[in-house]
Structure 1
Amino acid sequence: MMKTLTILTFLAAFPAGMALADDDDCFVPMADWQPREAVAALAAKNGWSVRRIKIDDGCYEIDGRDAAGRRIEVTVQPATLQVLQIEYEDHEEDGIRKGGKVKSHD
């Protein structure tokens, strides 16, 4: 019983969003989002070929290849189209491993 009260007290002290928030999440109302066409234009401007544009954790995510042909996963803020993270996926004999992550906080 004491353990349950302790957990409930902890949860009451922090709003649910704060307890589960992730730095890579985007919290933007859908009304403020740029259209997918704008995300595709951003990719073209950077020389990226797009395999798929999806939504993940409230952010746009571009799966594709960079100008050098490397597989990339790019996280984009949906209202400003700021690139939040670029993840390079390197191939190895045992499968795909996540390569150099680049985070931008401009």
Structure 2
Amino acid sequence: MMKTGILPTVTLAIMAATSAQAREHCEAPIRDWKGREAVRALAEERGWTLGRIKIDDGCYEVYGTDETGRRFEAKIDPATLNVIEIEDRRNHR
């Protein structure tokens, strides 16, 4: 039976937390950013209706509704257009 200590588990947890923190901010240079039109095209592909696009922490932050009518806020990498985070906004006013 192979013995494992707590250290590998703790190390993995720290690495995961550090990775998540690193994604709170987007760091792509502005010259590499896709335009707001590309963000709107991404939203259309996903069935989203956008109400607002703004820039926060170097990322696009969009507010809208999905195809089911659920309100959300999404953080999008401006260079890759990868969705970094989506937050349900049903309980926000």
Larger RCO: Structure 1 or Structure 2 (Cα < 8 Å, ≥ 6 residues apart)? 2
Give the structure 2 partner of residue 32 of structure 1.
32
The RMSD of aligned alpha carbons is: 1.6
Q: Which residue of 2 aligns with 1:90?
A: 90
Give the 5 Å matches for 1:39-50. Answer: 39-50=39-50
Q: Number of aligned pairs?
A: 73
Cα deviation for residue 90 of structure 1 reads 2.0
Q: Which stretches of structure 1, 4 residues or more, deviate above 4 A after TM superposition?
A: none
Q: Which has the higher strand share?
A: 1
Normalised by the length of structure 1, the TM-score is 0.64
- 1:75 and 1:65 map into 2 onto residues whose CA distance is 14
Relative to total residues, which structure has the larger helix share, 1 or 2? Answer: 2
Larger Rg: 1
| Structure 1 residue runs without a partner (length 5+) | 1-20, 98-106
Which stretches in structure 2 are left out of the alignment for 5+ residues? 1-20
Identity %: 51
TM-score by length of structure 2 reads 0.73
